[in-house]
Structure 1
Amino acid sequence: MTKITSQIKLIGGVLSLIIAFIVLITIYINHTSTQDSLVINVAGKQRMLTQKMTKEVFWLQHHSSDEYTTLNRSIEEFDHSLDDLINGNGNRGIYAPPKPSIAEQLHHIHTLWKDFTHYLNTFKALLQKTRTLKEKVPEASEHILNISDNVVKVMVKEKLEGSYIDDAGRQRMLTQKIAFHLSQYLINGQSEHITSFFHAFALYKSTLERFLHTQALMDLPRLNRVLTDNQTAWYAYSAYIIDLMDKQRSLNQTLLKIKDINVVLLNAMDNTVNAYTAYSSQRHKELQLFQYIASVIALLFMLYSAYLIRKIEENFSDFLKHSKAMATSF
């Protein structure tokens, strides 16, 4: 009897420990689920931020707004969240990378992020410069047109051959053609406008140089003066236009870099989110397995307890029978 009582006490103690273990595991599972959900959410939001920054860049490219607040906020948020994911942040409930493979992926993302931010900052600087230059296009084009028109007027007054006047008149058209294809290229970046632009640009330049090297034209004082003014204005205008084209070309190349890195960065971030999700799922399965094993052990102890209780009842029944038999015999 004493042995059975000791066993029941032991079973009661073990059951208490198992129940406490199950409760602790349940609390820990809930805690880790909250942590994992937060980390996966932060990592998942990084994917959205890469798209938001790229969208904002292309929106700024095609609008006249100088408002970089949304872009800068996205850059700052991505940067801080990436640092938290790499190093952990207890205040936010974000743990450090739980596996070497995840840490390696995050460091790869950090390298991509440095390149991405470099091109984002380059974009902002170039965008401001090109906008400043673009604002001067109408005025600069009008100025070179007026000077070219003066050349035509002086040639008419000097009663020069029709071929000279025709070529000078074409110069006026070329100034507008240059301005048109330049504007179209600045708007949509299509390569055919580049070809047409440089064709008109080269024709205007060669025609002006031919005028300047024709002694019969330069011997006329009034025409010499307007052609010299035309040459000075053209040098300034062409330098300005080439500078604008170079900066626009650099801006377009920067946009392509942003677009390309965005794709790589998005895929890398997506793989990291999948890795966090897989880790969370595996960890929960392992904890749930411990929970199931503890529950099965508790059930076995409960069955064994029922068996012992049954044995106690049988022993007690036998004891009563023996007691009655002894009482009757007396």
Structure 2
Amino acid sequence: MNVSDYPWPRATATGVGSYPGEDHLEAVRTAFGELPMPYLPELPGRGVGADMIGRTASLLVELPVEVQPSGWRLADRPGRDFRRARDHLTRDLDGLEEVSQGYQGPFKIQACGPWTLAGAIELRYGDKVLADTGAVRDLTESLAEGLARHVEEVRRRIPGADLVVQIDEPGLPGVLAGTVPTASGFGRLAAVDSPIAAERLRTVLSALAPAFPVVHCCAPGVPYEVIRTAGARGASVDAALLRRRDEDAIGETIEKGLALFLGVVPGTDTRLADVGVVAKPAVELWRRLGFPPARLAEQVVLTPSCGLAGASPAYAKAALARCREAARVLSEDPGE
């Protein structure tokens, strides 16, 4: 992959996913106003169906879901919870279409990935979907079809966009390590082998073409090899969780041309650091890995560390602006 293949300009920043409050129109306006790569914010504060799991589950084809006291569960037929989630998404797309009139450039949407979804949704009668390999396969295929339809709908709403699709997999390290709890909470589900994890993830990523697929994992132990093998063209991670022993895997990921979305601003209210300090993790990582300085601003996109749902609206807006400002530092020669 050449740097010219990235659908964004040099020195780019974007958001991760969630955003505080309940005013989606204002959140979309903020994304377009503050970011070189705007995105479609998720507002879980609106309640059932606006959360990451419910929002993505509403995209499933012929696999309706409902909310039980334990969380989301597969259902026999679409009900109130399913319709509420779809309604949230439809209103969000209506708002996007209104705000984005005439926009041309990179634009990002995001959805939960198959492994995190399988570890969160329960079967109709029994354990989590993750406990049943056949159910995981069915869920993955349903999600791939639903996301393909969603991508087409977004393209219809914002035809001038170069679409980037972020697949959220914070649960993937736990799936691979066998640490995902059973529905009862008293046990752990069996670990999934890396080739199988990559295969299922590839099914979803392949359905997104020709959009640019990125896998987001804001958890320790990011499985870079699985992400690469699955066909992702970018990896989105939290800079605060990077460990020196991860740098060989990160270096190989960058060497193969994958973009690195690097979370450099805290997701909850705090005093924002100066732009040079915010950009420092990206600049220093690039220097340690020894890559050409000119590629830094092409291949690295700055973001908050994760979603901003736990922040105040004022902080969330300022955090996005600080990511944008810090991204400009990446255009400077790290060797200078």
TM (normalized to structure 1)? Answer: 0.18
Larger radius of gyration: 1
Structure 1 or 2: larger strand share? 2
TM-score normalised over the length of structure 2: 0.18
